[in-house]
Structure formats: structure tokens, C-alpha cells
Amino acid sequence: MALKGLDIFKLTPKTNCKECNQPTCMAFAMKVASGAIALTDCPHMSAAALDKFASATEPPMKTIDIGAGECAYKLGGETVLLRHDKTLVNSNLYGICISADMPDAAIEAALTEMTKIDYERIGKRMYVECVYVKCNSDAVRSAEVAVKAVASGRVPVLDCADPDIAKSVLGAIKEAKPVLCGANAANWEAMNAVAKAADAVLGVSGADLNELHDTVEKLEAAGNKKLILDVGSVSIKDAFANAVEIRRAALKDGDRTFGYPSIVNLAALAPGDLVTQAALASIFTLRYGSIILMERIGYAEALPLFGLRQNIYTDPQKPMRVTPGLYPIGGANENSVCCLTVDFALSYFIVSGEIERSRVPVNLLIPDAGGYSVLTAWAAGKLSASSIAKFIQEFEIDTKIKNHTLILPGKVAVLKGDLEAKLPDWKIVVGPNEAIQLVKFLSTIN
Amino acid sequence: MPFIKKPRTLKPLGAVSIGTGERAVKIGGGNTLPLYFFDAKLSNPPAVGVELTDTAWDAAELPLLAKAYEGAATLAERVACAANMKGVDFVCLRLEGADPGGDNLSVEECVKLAQEAAAACTKPLCIAGCRSEEKDVELFKALAAALQGQNVLFLSAKEEDYKTIGAATVLAYGHKVAGESSVDINLAKQLNVLMTQLGIPKESIVMNLGGAAVGYGFEYVSSTMDRVKAAALEQDDAMLQMPVITQVATETWAVKESMASQADMPEWGDLEQRGIQMETVTAAACLASGSDAVILRHPVAVDKIAALVAALI
Ligand code: B12
Ligand code: SF4
């Protein structure tokens, strides 16, 4: 939120002493407003004025750092409610839940299932980022379980409302820069002291939004601005309403008290029901969950949720593209067949993955198709017989590749006739509609 | 200081009713942003439809889906099963057999099938074609006449064929029609303008804005819906206030996550579970973005999505 020149002028001592190398305080204020110089260039600014400036120019939602080393993440920092308004900057995180009450075998099983999920999607590593540890009244056991969470290489999120136990568990894992959830209207002072001593982000909850608002204000007054807000687990309806109200208040109504990332515990909202938890995770991915926790996450849950998140947290101004060209896959050479796809990163990623899986060497041809999917490019006139022929000519595919078999995506089978006319010395073959069918298809073509 | 909740009053959206009598279902008509039922009292929850085709599903690796249709031999029997599934508000019959590139059933054969289906269906009916433009026009003309009085929703009319389909279904027989556009707010609006200019009442038009499975260009779908709902609710744009219907199943069951067998992708685990989660996650994302009705395929997804909608009210 930018301050106007006049507002900044009111903060200066108005003595025109020129120590800032500006002719007057007014000129100085104007330059600060335009961003050309910093407020601190004036040596006479009072502490109160600096404070006022800092809070007026603060972004509506704070960016909170959690985790350490390779598992360090940023949460929050959003400026818009919907991605098309600008772009969403810090993607939400997913986590699974374990508890100090669980037997070791169950904990191992949950962590093993979670660590199995580790794959690449459009050039990004997909895995579960957080492990939520519900502590119990046994500090030693709780710490032991928290250490297991850290050992799994994920950010630990502790749930513990007892300041003494929290202190001793944090003592065991504080290098991991965990989140400590459990501050509320009753214990906030003690919890604040524990979190601050361990430099942990503090998770705050409240019986309702009023109580939560109150507690956050108290924590801020006590100097803590590293917070995460729990949307609560009273009911699905309540949790969703709270997530929306909190984010909307911060970004739309300028309520900075609620300008923090959120945490949603779906294991508590729909215990034992992984399908409902996945549906809720989907809704909270779109609507304002920052850390989204589920009982378990297997491939069935990860595949759709990570795909959704990757879609939503892309910059709407920049489609994800790959560079047009000739991409030999699986050790392809001049005698290998050619497959054609588009320069939309997702299409390339899917098709190249299936070709690799087929173990058939293939020369993948990628013309400039405007960065669109096969059918979008075709409908937009960016993938046509002429554009393909032009690509073959420009990239000298004719001379580089001796095997003149070209497999088209099934969705643009209509291009076959025109292409045959344009590329008479090529054999045009219509491939299947979906890339997944390529494995079988390629095994028959050789 | 307590939290100050700002009042958010928005105008109710248009509603389209399908089916007749006690079984009729209202799609749309809400007066809050998608799923924001905490903002206002009067609101209409999204509807959940289940789709089936005249050519039965290949349920080889989908035991739960197969079980839902167990013992149903004819299309009429399968429609009855679909209508009775837990959480179902309406049934969507896709006449896949009509596809000239497939079974190429004649229009007469399709009419017969649809009549049997309609007779067995205890919920409002929605009929989708075979995605062959010429065939669908012929099909919809004949079906609209044969199903007169049943207030069926036809999926879908496009910019190329809205005149024939709109006239044959809505103007001639009082059915409802969905206008299909491709993930673009301006195209959606333009189609609504054209259809209303043709004399089709607003109350007979549903918008099919296009869809995608999560992970497959879904960001465009969700942003388009976000923008449509903002225009309809916050800027009072009458030509975007028609309810939104989304065909989720056709998108999600065509992607690798829901198609690759466990033998092919052993680390991915059970195929049916993957398909259910792909469908459920996509449906939930559509509802959060603005679908007033979603069309699903799997009974578990239908049940869980319907229960979730109920829990949010
Ligand atoms: C997102 C989207 C858009 C985005 C573009 C995103 C992008 N980067 O492409 C936007 C909103 C910009 C868009 C615009 C348009 N779109 Co569009 N869009 C879609 C949507 C919803 C998803 C596309 C997608 O991302 N697919 C995922 C990718 C991975 O699919 P793919 O590239 O086809 O790859 C698959 C297969 O083809 C295969 N494959 C790929 N390569 C190869 C190669 C070989 C050898 C083989 C065998 C297989 C294979 O593998 C992949 C997975 O199986 C589809 C509907 C849908 N659900 O598909 C409509 C769709 C493609 N769009 C459509 C249209 C009409 C348009 C517009 C022309 C609308 C207009 N009039 O303005 C414009 C054109 C662009 C323009 N002029 O600006 C239509 C096309 C209709 C048709 N049958 O021709 C569709 C089908 C929607 C519809 N039902 O009407 N669109
Ligand atoms: S240094 Fe400060 S007080 Fe002096 S002229 Fe510049 S702004 Fe004014």
C-alpha cells in the first residue's frame, strides 16, 4: 500500500536542513513516495514516524518463512483474492498427520507411504512438504515422534497447546524451523515465549473469528508477527467460512490483523474419509488454505491435488512453453520414427513421458504452436498442415531424419490429408487420441 | 478488537428448472459467490448429476462402479440404478452409440433408447449427444419431440448450431438447453446474447463453459468461472447470470491418472481409487470456482460431493 507524498511530508521534521541532499523536506517526501530514495535517507526521522511509515507500507498479507535448508518455504504474501487479478505467489503446502499416540509401526507406515510420493511434473518435483505431529502429555514420546517427522525430511508442524511440553519438543527439533500450533486465548503469552525462544512460527486458534482476532492482536502487540491462523475444526462449514473471511478481510478490507497464512486440518474435519478430505483439500487449494493437512496422502490423492496446485499457481500472463525443435527421445537417431506434438509444456511433458515409457526411440517434433494444447492450437490456427510443413523445412527435419514416418496426435487426425499433400515424401500416420495409448501404439508401429 | 464481518449482499442468479412436478430440480439461483453460503441466507446449493451412456462403461478395473449397476441388463435398468444412487439430483444420458465413427445407431434407435431411459428415470433427465455436430442436431430434434413435456436439459448447443438446436429443443418443445463455449468469458456471453436474441428465455439457458481435469489446463477453467461469477454477481451482468453446468466425468476419466492400469503403473496403486479422487478433486474445484451443477460418473464421487455440498450449507 503506497503512501502519498503529502502523507510522508507530515512524517518529516519539516526543517529543510538538506542533510538528505534534497532542497526541502517536501522534495524529499515526493522522492520517497515515488520510490526513488528511502525514508531512512533523512537522519532526523523519529522512531514513531518510521514505525508509522513501516506499518502503512506493509503488504496486506505477510510472507512467513517456515522450514530450513532444502525444506524452506514461503507462505502467504498474496495481494489478490483470485489468480486472474494478477497472480498467486506462494503456493500452498500439503501435509500428513501423525500423532504421539500412534504406535511406531503406524507412524512408520504413514511416513513411508508419504515418502513414496516423489515424482516430477512439468519440470517440478512433487512431494508432500509437511508432517503434522500431534503431541500428547508425554513430552519425551512427543519429542521422539517429532524427531521422526524431521528425519523424513519434511517441515514439522507441531500441535501442542501445553507450553512446557511444546518447549521441550521444540528443544529437540528447533533447527528444522517448525511451526508450533496451539496458541489460543488462554495460553498465548506462554506459547509466544516458547515460540520466540525457538524462533518457530506460531499457529494461533480461537473459538471463533472474534477470539482469533483478539489473540492475534495481543500477540502482535507482544511483538510477534510470525503467525499462522488456524481456520478451526468445529465443522466443515465453519472452517471454510473462516478461511474465506480471514483472507477476504486481509486483502479486500485492509484488516492487517488477519494478514497471515492459514492452516487447515482436514483429518479433524472429515476423519477416516479420504475422499472427502481430498475434495476439501481441492476447495482449500483454491480458497485460501496455506498449509493443508490430511490424514494420509497416497498417489490417488497426490496426483490430482498436486496437478491442481501446479495449475493454480502459474502466472496467468505466462503460458508454460517449451522451445520448438527436434527432441530425440530414448536414444532416437535418424532412423527412428517421428511423433508430432505442440510447444505447450504440459503436452510435451505428457507425451515425452509416454514415449520414454514405451522404450521405443522416437524423434519428437515440436513446432511453434503458440504454446497451446493440441486442440487449442488447432482451433486457433496455430497448428495446421502449413505450419507443420514450414517447421519441417525450417528445422531441416527432412535431411536430419531419414525415417520419414510422422505420427500425428489423434485429436488432429483431420490434418492428415492436407499434410500428405504438403509433405509427399512423408508417411503420415494418425496416432491415438491420448498420449497414454502411445505405449501400445508405438509397440505395433515398429 | 473483535473481527468485523462486512455484509455482502448480492443479487440472486438466474435459476433453471429441469424435470417435472415433485422431481424437478433447480439449477442455479444462488445469491452468494460459489459455496460462500455463510454470506447470505437465501441460496441454492449446486446440483449433482450422474452420467451414463447407452453403451455401458468398461468397468473391468472398477469394481465399485460395476457394483452400482449390478444386475442391470438394459439401459432402462441402468438408468434406474443411476437415478437411485445416493446423492444424485439428476441423470445425464450420453448417447454415445449415435457416433457415426462408432456404433452409428440411427436416430430412431436413439429415440427408442431415450424414451425407455426417460420412463425408467425417477430424476430429471439431461441428454448429451455423441459430439458429432451433424448427428447431434438430428438427434436433438427428434428427441425433443419424443420427450415433449418432460423438461429435459440438452447438452449442448454451440455457436455453430444454437439456432437449430435452440429452436428444436426450447422454442418448439419447451425443454432447456446448455450453451457450450470454450473456456472464455466473452464467448460464453456472446452465445447467451445470441440465444436470447433468438427468443430463448434466460430461464431456459444453462452455460457449459467447458472443462478440464485438474492438472490439465484447469487454471483456465477456474479463472473463467471466477470471472463469470464476478460479472454475474458483482457487476450484475444479465448475460452471464445463467447457471453453470460442468461435465466433470468426461474430462477426468480420460486422463492417465484414471486410465493407466495398476499393472502399468504399479507405484500408483489401485486404479479405481485414483479415478475416484481425480473426479472428486476436479468436481470440488469446479464447485469452488462456480459450477452450479456438476456431472460425475462414479457413485462414490457422487455420494461424497453431494454430502460435501450439504455440509457446506
Ligand atoms: C485450457 C484451454 C484453453 C486455454 C489455452 C491453454 C493452452 N496453453 O493450451 C485458452 C483459454 C487460452 C483456450 C483458448 C481457446 N480454445 Co481452448 N481449451 C482449453 C482446454 C480446457 C484444455 C486444453 C488442455 O490444456 N489440454 C491438456 C493438453 C495436455 O492436451 P493436448 O495438448 O491435447 O495433449 C493430449 C493429447 O492430445 C495427446 N497428445 C499430445 N500430443 C500428442 C502427440 C501424439 C503423437 C499423440 C499420439 C498424442 C498426443 O496427449 C495429451 C494427453 O493425452 C480444452 C478442453 C479440454 N478439456 O481439452 C479447450 C479446447 C481445446 N479449446 C477449444 C477452443 C475452440 C479454443 C479457442 C479457439 C476458443 C476461441 N474461439 O477463442 C481458443 C483458441 C486460442 C486463442 N485464439 O486464443 C476447443 C477446441 C474445439 C475443437 N474440437 O477443435 C476445446 C476442445 C474446448 C471445447 N470443447 O470447445 N483454450
Ligand atoms: S534530512 Fe530530513 S529534515 Fe532535513 S531536509 Fe531532508 S527530509 Fe527534511
- Residue A365 maps to which CATH number? 3.40.50.11600
Query: Quick check: A70 pLDDT over 70?
Result: yes
Report the chain B residue with the minimal C-alpha distance to residue A269.
B311
Exposure string of B117-132, with b = 16+ CB inside 10 Å and e = fewer, is bbebbebbbbbbbbeb
Question: Same domain, yes or no, for A67 and A50?
Answer: no
Are residue A300 and residue A217 in the same domain, yes or no?
yes
User: Does any ligand 2 atom lie closer than 6 A to the CB of residue A53?
Assistant: no
User: pTM value?
Assistant: 0.92
Q: Does residue A18 lie in a domain region?
A: yes
Taking the C-alpha atoms of residue B121 and residue B126, their distance in angstroms, rounded to an integer, is 11
B310 near A CB under 8 A? no
Q: How far apart are CA B27 and CA B155, in angstroms?
A: 14
Which domain-ending residue is among A265, A282, A312? A312
Query: Based on the domain organization, do A100 and A133 belong to the same domain?
Result: yes
Count of domains for chain A:
3
- At residue A316, the pLDDT reads 73
Query: Is residue A160 situated within a structural domain?
Result: yes
**The pLDDT of residue A1 is above 60:** no
* Chain A residue nearest residue B284, CA to CA: A279
B140-146's contacts with Cβ under 8 Å and 24+ in sequence apart are B140/B165, B140/B168, B140/B169, B141/B168, B142/B107, B142/B108, B142/B110, B142/B111, B143/B110, B143/B111, B143/B114, B144/B168, B144/B169, B144/B172, B144/B173, B144/B175, B145/B172, B145/B173, B146/B111, B146/B114, B146/B115
Classify A417 as helix, strand or coil.
helix
Report in angstroms the alpha-carbon separations of A139 from A169, B233, B293: 7, 52, 49
The secondary element (H helix, E strand) that includes residue A427 is strand A427-430
A9, A14, A16: residue to mutate for ligand 2 pocket, most atoms within 8 A of CB: A16
Q: Is residue A317 part of a domain?
A: no
Residues A296 and A341 in one domain: no
Q: Is A324 in the pocket of ligand 1 (CB under 6 A)?
A: no
> Measured between CB atoms, does A210 come within 8 Å of chain B?
yes
For A304-342, how does the pLDDT look when each residue is reduced to its tens digit (9 = 90+)? 999 999 999 987 777 788 999 999 999 999 999 999 999
What is residue B1's predicted lDDT score, i.e. its pLDDT?
73
- Residues A182 and A88 grouped into a single domain: yes
CATH of the domain at A51: 1.10.15.40
For A332, the grid coordinates are 532416437
Domains of chain B: 29-312 (3.20.20.20)
CA of A57 from ligand 2 middle (Å) equals: 20
Asked if B259 reaches chain A (Cβ–Cβ under 8 Å), the answer is: yes
Of all protein residues, the one whose alpha carbon is nearest to atom 4 of ligand 1 is B220
How many CA atoms, within 13 angstroms, populate the side-chain half-sphere of residue B167? 7
What pLDDT score was predicted for residue A224?
95
Cβ separation B288–A286 shorter than 8 A: yes
Q: Indicate whether A51 and A81 sit together in one domain.
A: no
Backbone angles phi, psi at B12, to 5 degrees: -65, 145
Angle A299-312/B218-233 helices, nearest 10 degrees?
Answer: 60
CB contact set of B29 (below 8 Å; sequence gap of 6+): B12, B13, B14, B15, B44, B243
Q: Which domain holds residue A14?
A: 5-57
Residues in chain B: 313
The ipTM, to two decimals, is: 0.95
Q: Which of A312, A335, A369 is the last residue of a domain?
A: A312
Per-residue pLDDT tens digits of chain B, which is 313 residues long: 778 888 887 888 999 999 999 889 999 999 999 999 999 887 889 999 999 999 877 788 899 999 999 999 999 999 999 999 999 999 999 999 999 988 999 999 999 999 999 999 999 999 999 988 899 999 999 999 999 999 999 999 999 999 999 999 999 999 999 999 999 999 999 999 999 999 999 999 999 999 999 999 999 999 999 999 999 999 999 999 999 999 999 999 999 999 999 998 999 999 999 999 999 999 999 999 999 999 999 999 999 999 999 999 9
Q: Is residue A81 part of a domain?
A: yes
- State the cell numbers at B108: 430412431
- Tell me the β-bridge partners of B246: B294
Let me know if residue A227 belongs to a domain: yes
Sequence-distant (6+) residues with CB within 8 A of B58 are none
* Pair A117, A204 in one domain: yes
* Residue-averaged pLDDT of chain A: 94
Cα distance from B311 to chain A (closest Cα, Å)?
Answer: 6
DSSP class per residue in A230-294? E--SS-HHHHHHHHHHHHHHHHTS--GGG-S-EEEEHHHHSTT-HHHHHHHHHHHHHTT-SEEEE
Three-class DSSP category at B86: coil
Establish if A299 touches chain B: CB-CB under 8 angstroms.
yes
**Domain CATH code at residue A228:** 3.20.20.20
- Provide the pLDDT for residue B266: 94
Co-location of A53 and A80 in the same domain: no
Does residue A119 sit in the same domain as residue A186? yes
Q: Is residue A72 part of a domain?
A: yes
| One domain, residues A49 and A79 | no
Question: Would residue A320 count as lying in a domain?
Answer: no
Would A362 be classed as within a structural domain?
yes
What's the grid cell of residue A49? 514516524
Considering the domain architecture, whether residues A53 and A68 belong to the same structural domain is answered as no
Q: Choose the final residue of a domain: A261, A281, A312.
A: A312
Residues A128 and A32 in one domain: no
Q: How confident is the model at residue A446 (pLDDT cuts 50, 70, 90)?
A: low
- Look at the block and give the residue holding cell 530425440: A328
- Amino acid A89 reads V
| C-alpha A27 to ligand 2 mean position (Å) | 9
List, as ranges, residues 121-150 from B with C-beta within 8 Å of A. none
**Contact A261 CB / ligand 1 (< 6 Å):** no
Residue A2: the pLDDT is: 63
CA angle centred on B55, ends B53 and B61, rounded to 5°? 90
Q: How far apart are CA B20 and CA B84, in angstroms?
A: 17
**Cβ-based contacts under 8 A for chains A and B:** 165
Would you mind telling me the total number of residues written for chain A in this entry?
Answer: 446
